[in-house]
Each structure stands twice: as structure tokens, then as C-alpha cells.
């Protein structure tokens, strides 16, 4: 009898467990609405990012801890606007109705009001660039959209592909004095860092080497213009730049060298002669300006050239990834 009772008890436990599981399953499958606190932004709205490129010394107290548009809070200490930086972040935008609006920036933890200017926002996506606390900001339309589907004729499938770079001239000669020069941004890249399928098909890969191996050839391209020369506050727009990657099985990145050329007609300072004693390399704090960045394929990046040319807060490129 005890044995039979134990079996009956086990059956009861089994059936109770099944009933509980069924009830739980029915409850877990109940339809629930998930709401996202988002507001659709139409094409008739202004979408904008705010860049802080006023020449200032390196100090946390020079960061912007509060931003208001028409008296409404855009950001506070949870998303500080650093010097030579942009908010709200890559691929993100604030929005407002197009037209005249008042923009206020508060500096440091004491929230000192340092910028109180009107700005005229335009429809679509744009950069609002603060370059002088006493002057209206520069408005630059973001002149690209990511194409989809991609045009196969504008892509390569071996060891190089394309990135896009935009150069903006925000250089000051001295405090309160924007440059009067037009700047020609130039770039240079390594021509043949890896062996390619084209090399294989042409029989150019030596014994012991394979497609994707390093060639050991450090030959650079000629210096190439990135867009046209730009005056203060102007942009080259996004220009395609070839990226000859140095790791074959990877998304791809490569070193690209940069320099800036100015012309005598635009007030250039003689330095190293570039061509026929007419064009010269830009000098920054008494030295020829050169720089390099590791550029990743597929990226859209803005190079903001900002700061004071002949001061300790030396002018240089501040890179900002747009996409």
C-alpha cells in the first residue's frame, strides 16, 4: 500500500507541475505593447549638431556644461560639450523648427554664460559651429547621405576601398582674427602596401608570397588635393579618399598623410617651396604643418582645422567621425 501511495503522490506532483507550466506559458505569451518615447522628425524640421571650436586653452573649466535653445535645455553635465568637440554625437542630432533661434552656452561647473547669440537654422541636417563667443555661429549643411544600395562602380573588392573626408577651415591668426588665407588641404597614401589579386593575375607575386602579404614597398602617391581651397568657415564637402589597407582580412584602415598649402596671392607665408615659388606649405607656430591619421574604410569623417596659428593653443586638425 505504501508503494502505491508513493506512486499516486508522484503522479499528483507531476500533474500539478504540468498545470503550473501551462499557466505560466499562457501568461508569458500574453500580448504586451512596448512603447518608445520617440517623436518622428519630418523633412521640414532642422536637425543639427553643435560644435565647440572657439580657440581656448586646455582645461575642463572651458568645457560647456549646459546648452539651451530658445530657453529649453538641450544638454547638461550628463553630456558635456568639450572644447574642440561636437554634440550630441556621431549620427545623432537635435531638432527644432527652421528659422531664427536663440542659442546659449554655459561654461564650467559654475555655469558661466559665455555664448548668447541668435542662429538661423535651416531645414535638414547641419552643423552649428561655435568659433567665437561674441559672433554668430557658422552653419554648414551636412552634404551627404549614405547611398543604398551602393553603386558597385564606386567600390573595389581587393585591398583598397573608399573613405570620405571633409575639411573645414576654422583657423585663427590671433584672438578675434580669423585667417584671411584660403587653405588647400592635401593628402598622400601608400600606393602598394599588399599584394593583390591583380598582382596574382599579372604574375607579379614573388615565390613565397601570397595575396594579402605585405609588399615592403613604401612608395607614396603624389600629394593630392582634397577638394578646392577653402576660406575661413568654409568646407570642402565630403571627398572620396582611397584607403589602401595594411591588413588583408580586416575591415581595413591605413595611414594617410596630410598637409596644407597656401598661395602667395592669399597671404601665404613662404616656407618650403611646393611649386614654382608660388605655393607654399602652411607654417604653424613657426613650423611646417604636417599630420597623419589612420583612416578606416567606409567612414565619413570631418577634419576641423581649429585653433590659433601662432600661439601655444596651436592650430591643428580635430577629427570627428560623422558615420
Return the DSSP state at 242: E
CA angle 89, 52, 285 (to 5 degrees): 125
Position 89 pLDDT exceeds 90: no
**pLDDT averaged over every residue in the chain:** 82
Mean pLDDT of 15-19: 60
> Picking from 131-145, 150-164, 205-219, which range would have the lowest pLDDT averaged per residue?
150-164
Q: Give the pLDDT of residue 103.
A: 96
164-173 residue pLDDT tens: 999 999 999 8
Residues 6 or more apart from 176 whose CB is under 8 A from it? Answer: 132
pLDDT for the residue numbered 1: 45
Burial of 85 (0-12, 13-18, 19+ CB in 10 A): middle
| Buried-state track 186-201, b at ≥16 Cβ within 10 A, e below 16 | bbbbbebbbbbeebee
At 286-305, the pLDDT tens digits run 778 889 999 998 889 999 99
Residue, of 203 and 312, whose pLDDT is higher: 203
Task: Name the residue among 289, 5, 11 with its Cα closest to residue 171.
Answer: 289
**pLDDT for the residue numbered 278:** 46
Higher pLDDT, 147 or 235: 235
pLDDT for res 158: 65
At 55 the pLDDT is 87
Q: What is the mean pLDDT of residues 64-78?
A: 92
DSSP 173-209: EETTEE--S-BEEEEEEBS-SB--HHHHHTT-SPTT-
Q: At 275, is the pLDDT very low, low, confident or very high (cuts 50, 70, 90)?
A: very low
pLDDT at 3 (0 to 100): 46
Q: What is the mean pLDDT of residues 106-125?
A: 94
Q: Provide the pLDDT confidence category of residue 10 given band limits of 50, 70 and 90.
A: low
pLDDT of residue 271: 43
Does residue 72 have a pLDDT over 90? yes
Instruction: With a cut of 80, say whether residue 73 has pLDDT above it.
Output: yes
Tens of pLDDT along 216-257? 888 999 889 999 889 999 999 999 999 988 888 777 889 999
- Choose between 84 and 322: higher pLDDT: 84
Domain boundaries, the chain: 41-142, 155-323
Q: With 60 as the cut, is the pLDDT of residue 268 above it?
A: no
Check pLDDT > 60 for residue 270: no
- Does the structural domain 41-142 have CATH classification 3.30.70? no
How much is the pLDDT for 17?
60
Q: Provide the pLDDT for residue 320.
A: 86
- Tell me the per-residue pLDDT of 162-210, one tens digit each, with 9 for 90 and over: 899 999 999 998 888 999 888 889 999 998 888 888 889 999 999 999 8
CA 47 to chain CA centroid, nearest Å: 16
Is residue 146 scored above 80 in pLDDT?
no
Amino acid at each position: 500500500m505504501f508503494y502505491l501511495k508513493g506512486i499516486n503522490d508522484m503522479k499528483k506532483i507531476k500533474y500539478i507541475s504540468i498545470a503550473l507550466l501551462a499557466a505560466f506559458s499562457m501568461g508569458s505569451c500574453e500580448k504586451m505593447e512596448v512603447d518608445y518615447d520617440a517623436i518622428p522628425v519630418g523633412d521640414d524640421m532642422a536637425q543639427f549638431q553643435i560644435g565647440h571650436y572657439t580657440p581656448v586653452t586646455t582645461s575642463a573649466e572651458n568645457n560647456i556644461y549646459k546648452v539651451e535653445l530658445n530657453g529649453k535645455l538641450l544638454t547638461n553635465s550628463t553630456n558635456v560639450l568639450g572644447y574642440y568637440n561636437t554634440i550630441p554625437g556621431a549620427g545623432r542630432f537635435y531638432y527644432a523648427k527652421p528659422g531664427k533661434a536663440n542659442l546659449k552656452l554655459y561654461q564650467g561647473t559654475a555655469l558661466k554664460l559665455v555664448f548668447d547669440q541668435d542662429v538661423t537654422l535651416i531645414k535638414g541636417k547641419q552643423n552649428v559651429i561655435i568659433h567665437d563667443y561674441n559672433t554668430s555661429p557658422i552653419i554648414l549643411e551636412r552634404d551627404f547621405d549614405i547611398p543604398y544600395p551602393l553603386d558597385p562602380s564606386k567600390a573595389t573588392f581587393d585591398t583598397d576601398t573608399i573613405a570620405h573626408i571633409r575639411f573645414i577651415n576654422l583657423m585663427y591668426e590671433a584672438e578675434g582674427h580669423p585667417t584671411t588665407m584660403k587653405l588647400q588641404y592635401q593628402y598622400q597614401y601608400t600606393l602598394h602596401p599588399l599584394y593583390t589579386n591583380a598582382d596574382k593575375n599579372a604574375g607579379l607575386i614573388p615565390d613565397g608570397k601570397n595575396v594579402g602579404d605585405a609588399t615592403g614597398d613604401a612608395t607614396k602617391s603624389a600629394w593630392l588635393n582634397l577638394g578646392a581651397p577653402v576660406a575661413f568657415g568654409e568646407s570642402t564637402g565630403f571627398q572620396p579618399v582611397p584607403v589602401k589597407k595594411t591588413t588583408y582580412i580586416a575591415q581595413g584602415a591605413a595611414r594617410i598623410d596630410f598637409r596644407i598649402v597656401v598661395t602667395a596671392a592669399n597671404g601665404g607665408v613662404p616656407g618650403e617651396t611646393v611649386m614654382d615659388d608660388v605655393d607654399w606649405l602652411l607654417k604653424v607656430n613657426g613650423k611646417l604643418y604636417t599630420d597623419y591619421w589612420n583612416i578606416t574604410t567606409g567612414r565619413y569623417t570631418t577634419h576641423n582645422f581649429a585653433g590659433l596659428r601662432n600661439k601655444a593653443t596651436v592650430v591643428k586638425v580635430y577629427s570627428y567621425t560623422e558615420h
